[in-house]
């Protein structure tokens, strides 16, 4: 039986990319979130949330549980004070199961208000769940960094 080194290398490459795991998959969704925030892409950011997500943004005055309310939050937040930016500076992720990952970290959001750039550091906690083949945000909380 002839075994090609190229075939083994290809098989190893396929196996390594398929073994990303829940933590890496969940963090990839957060990277998509920061790109959508930076691009002021309301549709892109809203689609990352599950229909039954619980949301508490920095400017939230109530616990948001309706997809339309999440959309309204981001329309107000992303379509003003542009250009916007978001960076997850540091984080820790805990794999709770093959389909649930909790992430807590520190971030910085930026924008322009009244013609002047601003930067706001914050604390963020996100729970992501695998629903079908997609990972979605099921719980989101961001608060300002205390002084």
Task: Return the domain boundaries, the chain.
Answer: 20-144
User: What is this structure's pTM?
Assistant: 0.84
- Give me the CATH code for the 20-144 domain, please: 3.10.450.50
Give pLDDT, residue 139: 98
Q: What are the mean pLDDT values of the chain's consecutive 10-residue runs (147 residues total)?
A: 42 49 96 96 98 96 96 94 94 97 97 94 98 97 95
CA–CA gap between residue 117 and residue 32 (Å, rounded) = 23
Q: Smallest Cα–Cα separation from 98: which of 128, 60, 58, 138?
A: 128
Give pLDDT, residue 20: 82
Give pLDDT, residue 26: 96
- Matching residue, tokens 């990952």: 101
Give pLDDT, residue 19: 57
């Amino acid at each position: 039986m002839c075994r090609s080194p190229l075939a083994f290398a290809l098989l190893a490459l396929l196996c390594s990319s398929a073994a990303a795991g829940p933590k890496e998959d969940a963090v990839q969704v957060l990277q998509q979130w920061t790109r959508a925030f930076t691009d002021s892409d309301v549709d892109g950011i809203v689609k990352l949330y599950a229909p039954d997500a619980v949301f508490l943004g920095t400017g939230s005055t109530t616990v948001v549980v309706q997809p339309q309310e999440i959309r309204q939050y981001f329309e107000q937040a992303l379509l003003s004070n542009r250009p916007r930016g978001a960076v997850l500076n540091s984080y820790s992720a805990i794999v709770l199961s093959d389909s649930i990952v909790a992430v807590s970290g520190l971030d910085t959001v930026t924008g322009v208000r009244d013609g002047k750039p601003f930067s706001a550091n914050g604390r963020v906690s996100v729970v992501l769940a695998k629903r079908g083949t997609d990972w979605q945000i099921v719980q989101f909380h961001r608060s300002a960094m205390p002084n």
